[in-house]
Amino acid sequence: MIAPNDRIFFAPATRQAELVRRREISPVELMQATLERIATVDRRLNAFVALRREDEMLADARAVEQRIARGDDPGPLAGLPLGVKDLEDAAGLPNTHGSLLFRDHVATGDTIQVERLRRAGAIVVGKTNAPEFGYTCFTTNRLFGPTRNPWNLERTPGGSSGGSSAAVAGGLVALATASDGGGSVRIPAAYTGLVGLKPTQGRIPWGPDEMLRHSACIVSGPLTRSVADAALWLDVTAGPHSLDPFSLPAPEARYQDLLERDPGRLRIGWSPTLGYARPEKQVRREVEKAVAALADAGHEVDEVDPGFPDVVLHWMQYLVFEDLAFLAPYLTDESLLDPGYLPGLGIARAATPESFGQVMRIRSELVAKLADVFARFDLLATPTCATTAFAAEGPLPIEVDGRPIETPGGGVAYTYPFNFTGNPAISLRAGFGDDGLPVGLQLVAPRLREDLLLRVAAQLERSRPWADAWPAV
């Protein structure tokens, strides 16, 4: 039997699946141990907000065990427990969107991503907490309360995929779904020391949803304990689907097979500010160590100021407009919405064709400036966040090193530009701040170049391994 303090709880998903396939761990034993750990540890984290019936999960685990006993392929995820973010459908489980409006909603089917993860052998355990409609970068709502960071229970694990990041970093499950419309994969990854990948839009098909998303900003992506886990996730979930007309063709090669390939000598632009942001000294120090490791690996690193416009207000206008379009049929009682969410609806209702056009002009300007960056560099490196994790209940930081933050994007001003441009980006653990909390490095690549991101990320992971450093929850 797996001991409660067994390091298997913090092993990467690739390692856990390998042990299951080799029959060194039973999938039934792994599921039982997972449920026991959730029952004890999650009382402090509040990562999960709903669980499947135990007998159903154990029946699924026994089915995987029987396939292995017969010599059948159990799938690349081989019975691994899976958390699903509470903004995404998993059949038979609630999808509340973190909102009182949807507190009684139960999904009748899976998203494309969840269906593919199940088909690969993963077993859905339950739903992970998220802020209402994913609108904040910390995770709390009026239905379930705040989720807490396993490195420090007074701090947030980020948002909007904070329940998922707390579950993976806290050793509850090795796999949990996430999504990113402005940093909701990368911010939690930075705050909890995980790998967080935002792919190019369409790499992982979106939906099915009752309304096609038009913003081209929101994507699904993995939050994992290792780069290999992120590559495995893409290998399982990427590829076209008829229900997502924006989904991309299947990659030519498996991402896992590319990780050992030398990316060659790359030109990497290091931007600590993007032209408008400012990181804490402790954050810049740790990120610069990681950037130095890239130079030590043979890459040509130069500091760059791309002079980006701060698009946060335009990005927000666009996404709340899309949110209002989605929510319109359900807005029967706006008193059920978090008061902090209501101003966004007001902004959306005030939108005009002229204001919409101005948003898209700013977006076009940003795309052009990033194109200039990639004319000179293969990758762009930045901090993922300006600060380490702040209070679990919020609010957002308004100061950096005692000085007011000038940008409305605050401490999370580095992520949303790349949702607006559509570029893939990854957050990796760069080190730890003076407060003992993780610091994230963000790498951004040209569109469709997840392969380049993963190869460089794997190279950095080998030179500065983090696999043995996890919180003692």
What confidence tens digit (pLDDT) does each residue in 36-72 have? 999 999 999 999 999 999 999 999 999 999 999 999 9
Q: Looking at residue 248, what DSSP letter applies?
A: P
pLDDT tens, 313-358? 999 999 999 999 999 999 999 999 999 999 999 999 999 999 999 9
Tokens of 138: 């910390």
Catalytic (active site) residue 215: no
Identify whether the C-beta of residue 134 lies closer than 8 Å to the C-beta of residue 179: yes
Residue 468, domain member (yes or no): no
Residue 469, domain member (yes or no): no
| Helix, coil or strand: residue 440 | strand
Axis crossing angle, helix 27-45 with helix 13-21, rounded to the nearest 10: 150
Q: How many structural domains does the chain have?
A: 1
CA atoms within 13 A on the CB side of 98: 30
Range of the domain at 81: 7-463
> Among the options 26, 161, 184, 220, which is catalytic?
184
Q: Which pLDDT score, from 0 to 100, does residue 1 have?
A: 62
Calpha distance 331→323 (Å, rounded): 11
Residue 310, domain member (yes or no): yes
Q: Which pLDDT score, from 0 to 100, does residue 3 have?
A: 66
Catalytic (active site) residue 355: no
Q: Which pLDDT score, from 0 to 100, does residue 213 have?
A: 86
Catalytic (active site) residue 369: no
Q: Which pLDDT score, from 0 to 100, does residue 42 have?
A: 98
Residue 158, domain member (yes or no): yes
> Among the options 26, 85, 99, 271, which is catalytic?
85
> Among the options 99, 160, 220, 271, which is catalytic?
160
pLDDT above 70 coverage of the chain, percent: 99
Q: Are strands 379-383 and 438-444 parallel, antiparallel or unpaired?
A: antiparallel
Looking up residue 94, the CATH number of its domain turns out to be 3.90.1300.10
pLDDT above 90 coverage of the chain, percent: 95
Residue 1, domain member (yes or no): no
Q: Looking at residue 149, what DSSP letter applies?
A: B
Q: Is the predicted pLDDT of residue 2 greater than 80, yes or no?
A: no
Q: Is the predicted pLDDT of residue 5 greater than 70, yes or no?
A: no
Identify whether the C-beta of residue 472 lies closer than 8 Å to the C-beta of residue 283: no
Residue 2, domain member (yes or no): no
Residue 24, domain member (yes or no): yes
Q: Report which residue type is found at 405.
A: I
Rounded to the nearest 5°, which phi and psi values hold at 83? Answer: -95, 145
Identify whether the C-beta of residue 278 lies closer than 8 Å to the C-beta of residue 270: no
Mean pLDDT of 86-99: 98
Residue 33, domain member (yes or no): yes
